[in-house]
């Protein structure tokens, strides 16, 4: 069974204080690892997809990296508007229907303070 574990559960940062969020996963065969941002009462917003170990992607203050066992979401010089819950999900290799399925972690709730 595919599993995704995110840590920490919650993180408080001062504005400008860089940090990393962790996503550890176990999957029979990784098709893709996804990062989403979710604001309270809203649906997840797509950030990145990573497909193979060693891959990195960046978007503004965010950078996602991937190894064979985990992914990191690095936040550089965060601002209060980066406050949100960050979700990690994996998609396993499989048949068309099952291969589309995303298994989510419980997220890291990030709070960036002035």
Partner 1 sequence: GAVVSQHPSRVICKSGTSVKIECRSLDFQATTMFWYRQFPKQSLMLMATSNEGSKATYEQGVEKDKFLINHASLTLSTLTVTSAHPEDSSFYICSARALLETNEQFFGPGTRLTVL
Query: How far is it, in rounded angstroms, from Cα 37 to Cα 47?
Result: 7
C-alpha dihedral (112, 12, 85, 42), degrees to nearest 10: -50
- Could you say whether residue 102 binds partner 1 (CB under 8 A)? yes
Query: How far is it, in rounded angstroms, from Cα 23 to Cα 71?
Result: 5
User: Which region among 38-46, 56-64, 65-73, 74-82 touches partner 1 (by CB under 8 A)?
Assistant: 38-46
Pairing of strands 10-14, 108-113: parallel
Query: How far is it, in rounded angstroms, from Cα 49 to Cα 106?
Result: 18
User: Which region among 39-47, 54-62, 65-73, 74-82 touches partner 1 (by CB under 8 A)?
Assistant: 39-47
User: Which region among 12-20, 53-61, 75-83, 98-106 touches partner 1 (by CB under 8 A)?
Assistant: 98-106
- Could you say whether residue 36 binds partner 1 (CB under 8 A)? yes
Nearest residue (CB) to partner 1, 5 versus 67: 5
DSSP, res 80:
G
Write down the least CB distance from residue 34 to partner 1, Å: 7
Residue numbers at the binding site for partner 1 (CB under 8 A)? 31-32, 34, 36, 41-46, 49, 87, 91, 97, 100-107
């Amino acid at each position: 069974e595919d599993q995704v574990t995110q840590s920490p559960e919650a993180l408080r940062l001062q504005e400008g204080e860089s940090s990393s969020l962790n996503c550890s996963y176990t999957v029979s065969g990784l098709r893709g690892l996804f990062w989403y941002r979710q604001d309270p009462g809203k649906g997840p917003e797509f950030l990145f997809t990573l497909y193979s170990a060693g891959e990195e992607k960046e978007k503004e203050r965010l950078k996602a990296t991937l190894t064979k066992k985990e992914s990191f979401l690095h936040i550089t010089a965060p601002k209060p508007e980066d406050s949100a819950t960050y979700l990690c999900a994996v998609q396993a290799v499989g048949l068309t229907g099952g291969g589309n399925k995303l298994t989510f972690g419980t997220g890291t709730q990030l709070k960036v303070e002035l």
